[in-house]
A = this chain, B = another copy of it.
Amino acid sequence: MADIRFFQPSGPFELRYLAEQIGAEAPSAESGNILIRDVGALETAGQGDVSLFCDARYVGTFIESRASVVVTSHELGRHAPSGRCLLFAAEPRLAFARIGHLLYPEARLVPGIDAGAQVHPSAVIGHGSQIDAGAVIERDVSIGENCHIGYHAILGTGVVIGDNCRIGAHAAISNALIGRRVEISCSVTIGGQGFGFVTGPTGLVRVLQLGRVIIGDDVEIGANCAIDRGANGDTEIGAGTVIDNLVQIGHNVRLGRNCVLSGQAGIAGSTTLGDGVMVGGQAAISDHLTIGSGARVAGKSGVMRDVEPGGTVAGYPAVPVRQWHRQTAGLLRLFGRKTADNSGET
């Protein structure tokens, strides 16, 4: 059960209603009346809680769970003791996530502009949007409906934000066009100058950075990320792409749709990722590369060459993941001691 100081469930809801909302199979008439108040793990859930069983390894926990309802698949549901109330869904994890969002909807906005915010008269702010204290909305900014602009967030001249966006505290956004339902976390910097220089007689001279950052719908960007604007042309983040904390996106990078970039990953300038690319934590991708759609880049790897669509690479320099496994196993064989284990040796 969540700490009610931070999270208050909005229910209770009848199971029938939840099932209908998320597109799960309709429960029986009887169980449809069960009142659901909260979500919980199989071990800790009790009366009024809905839980999730989606991994056969936890069948024992499932059998002993005291949850009022368990979301699962027909396949896994076979293990249920008789009388157990189940909610069947083709994708149990997805169904459970959706129930969670029904029970814990986002905090309702308090529309209006806080007296401590600074909004330029030329800015347009859509109906239902909330602008917190310390926020700065500069000239010609356009903010859609039902947006939340957090404390001290800065939206620079001309920035466009679509409907239903959330901009975190201390974010600083300039030279950017942002779609709908975009969530940008705290202390994110978007639209800064790219890192491009030419050498002059007395030092480095910055190359003019005249591009923008274009962010598609449904993008999420984690805390303390930095996304530079394009130099010539734009930096682009495709719709549905999600980015974890402390990620660096260089100028003129183009990320496709539904990419997943984990924490502290870095994409150097002018590199293009297709759709659905997954990049592990602390992975780095060099500049001017093309990473094909559906490719996977292992955490911590350093990619220095293009990756084909659907390819999986790992290592530094990154190679196809099987090659990498052969290399790491081979090194262990070549230089290992018989007594070596994986961790205890010092």
* Contact A134 B157, beta carbon cutoff 8 Å: no
* Contact A226 B245, beta carbon cutoff 8 Å: yes
Taken together as a complex, chains A and B put the C-alpha atoms of A202 and B276 apart, in Å, by: 12
Whole-angstrom distance from the CB of A177 to the nearest CB of chain B? 8
Whole-angstrom distance from the CB of A72 to the nearest CB of chain B? 15
Indicate whether A48 reaches chain B with its CB closer than 8 angstroms: no
Taken together as a complex, chains A and B put the C-alpha atoms of A133 and B116 apart, in Å, by: 10
A100, A168, A322, A341: residue with the most chain B Cβ atoms closer than 10 Å: A100
Indicate whether A274 reaches chain B with its CB closer than 8 angstroms: no
Residue of B158, B203, B257, B258 near A6 (CB, 8 A) is: B158
The number of times this chain is found in the oligomer is: 3
Whole-angstrom distance from the CB of A149 to the nearest CB of chain B? 13
Whole-angstrom distance from the CB of A7 to the nearest CB of chain B? 5
| Nearest CB in chain B to that of A199: its residue | B94
Residue of B6, B101, B218, B343 near A306 (CB, 8 A) is: B343
Indicate whether A145 reaches chain B with its CB closer than 8 angstroms: no
Indicate whether A27 reaches chain B with its CB closer than 8 angstroms: no
Residue of B154, B168, B295, B345 near A322 (CB, 8 A) is: B345
**Closest 3 A/B residue pairs (Cβ):** A100-B208, A5-B158, A320-B345
Further pairs besides A100-B210, A311-B343: 18, Cβ < 8 Å:
A100-B207, A104-B208, A116-B118, A133-B136, A154-B186, A170-B170, A186-B192, A195-B262, A204-B260, A246-B248, A282-B302, A308-B342, A310-B346, A311-B344, A313-B343, A320-B344, A322-B346, A326-B336
